[in-house]
Structure 1
Amino acid sequence: MRARKFWLVLHILSAGAWIGIDVLVAVLVAIGMLGGNESRRGLAYQALGTFVWWPMLTSGLVCLVTGVVLGLGTKWRLFRYRWVVVKLVLNVGLCTLILVALRPSMPVVTAYGVAVAAGTPAVIGPTSLFMPPIVSLTALSLATVLSVYKPWGRMRRQSPG
């Protein structure tokens, strides 16, 4: 019982950190797009490009590991209930997006921030940056709702043969 509570607390804290980082990303994107002076906007983009993806990935991976441990060590199991499977898919999908879509674009975001702060007109700005926090916050909110309501019941067992 004590071990389960430890893993559950760690799972909840990592999910909360992940949500908090996504909110920070949304704030930095908003400041970068609407922040008024170039210095503030450039600093927001530089912070985004430099400091965001690795804490986000770390919290996502901690959330994934603790979720798997909880799934293996509790009555919910990993593949017994649909809501657990959906949460697992959401987590793996978001971590993959961080690695495949977000992380590779961060040097460009940082360089754009440097150009904006210096007053150098940049050719193309990172206009699609508002999508990651929307997608991630939506998926993490859905995962939270699934954790609380536990809908859909058990997975069907496949009959052998």
Structure 2
Amino acid sequence: MAVREKKPEQAGARRPGGRFKLGRRWRKSALVAHIVFAGTWIGIDVMVAVLVLTGKFGTSDEVRGLAYETLATFVVWPMLVSGLLTLLTGLILGLGTKWGLVRYWWVGIKLVLNLVLCTLILVALRPGMGEIGDYGRDLAGGAPEPAGVSNLFFPPAVSLTALTLATVLAVAKPWGRIRRSGR
């Protein structure tokens, strides 16, 4: 039985300039993980949209209150974790493949979208979730709807739009390479 030598394109190979290149199996595994984590993120955003719509237009105060409580309790951390895992696998793919992190416009824009969305989860969405949960618990008692609740339509709308754009960019790969000055 002959022993096969590693080809330069296999795992552990170095590109010119010392950059690491993912082997075929590792690249495919990272790509599958990236797609799964991004799909999870999109699914969580769809769930957020359903909970927001149920909280706003539910048939009873109990249903509406439960939607707001669920939103406050279970949404932020799973969404953030899926976003960060999508970022991590995207970084691995960017550093270990020909696409790079900021070599092509579509990759750079996806990176920026991911960073902005993860930041918005922490800065804009998470701080208000305690109040939303409290309102959900008070809703059955006839409490009036606070003004901040109506703003909940924006997070899933913005996030789903951005994630859809990122998906389109990943498939279409538009605009070509980013030109560097001085070359």
- Give TM-score, length-normalised by structure 2: 0.85
2:143 match: 121
1:92 match: 115
SS at structure 1 position matched to 2:138: helix
Deviation at 1:157, TM superposition (A): 1.4
1:4 match: 27
Q: Which one of the candidate residues 75, 89, 102 is aligned to 1:79?
A: 102
Cα distance in structure 2, aligned partners of 1:122 and 1:7 = 48
Amino acid corresponding to residue 43 of structure 2 in structure 1? G
Deviation at 1:121, TM superposition (A): 1.4
Cα distance in structure 2, aligned partners of 1:53 and 1:123 = 21
Q: Which runs of 4+ in 1 moved over 3 A?
A: none
Cα distance in structure 1, aligned partners of 2:145 and 2:175 = 49
Cα distance in structure 1, aligned partners of 2:53 and 2:145 = 20
Question: Alpha-carbon deviations, 1:59-91, whole Å to 9, x = none?
Answer: 000000000000000000001001000000000
Amino acid corresponding to residue 96 of structure 1 in structure 2? T
SS at structure 1 position matched to 2:132: helix
Cα distance in structure 1, aligned partners of 2:60 and 2:167 = 37
User: Within 5 A, what are the aligned runs for 1:29-68?
Assistant: 29-68=52-91
Cα distance in structure 2, aligned partners of 1:109 and 1:145 = 33
RMSD of Structure 2 on Structure 1 (CA):
1.0
1:139 and 2:162 correspond: yes
Amino acid corresponding to residue 98 of structure 2 in structure 1? K
Amino acid corresponding to residue 122 of structure 1 in structure 2? P
1:105 match: 128
Greater alpha carbon shift after TM alignment, 95-104 vs 121-130:
121-130
1:153 match: 176
Count, aligned residues: 159
Deviation at 1:122, TM superposition (A): 3.1
Deviation at 1:158, TM superposition (A): 1.5
The answer to which structure has the higher helix fraction is: 1
Cα distance in structure 1, aligned partners of 2:28 and 2:169 = 19
Larger relative contact order (Cα-Cα within 8 Å, sequence gap ≥ 6): 1
Counterparts in 2 of 1:9 and 1:37: CA distance versus 1, 3 Å: same
Deviation at 1:123, TM superposition (A): 5.5
Amino acid corresponding to residue 120 of structure 1 in structure 2? G
- Larger radius of gyration, structure 1 or 2? 2
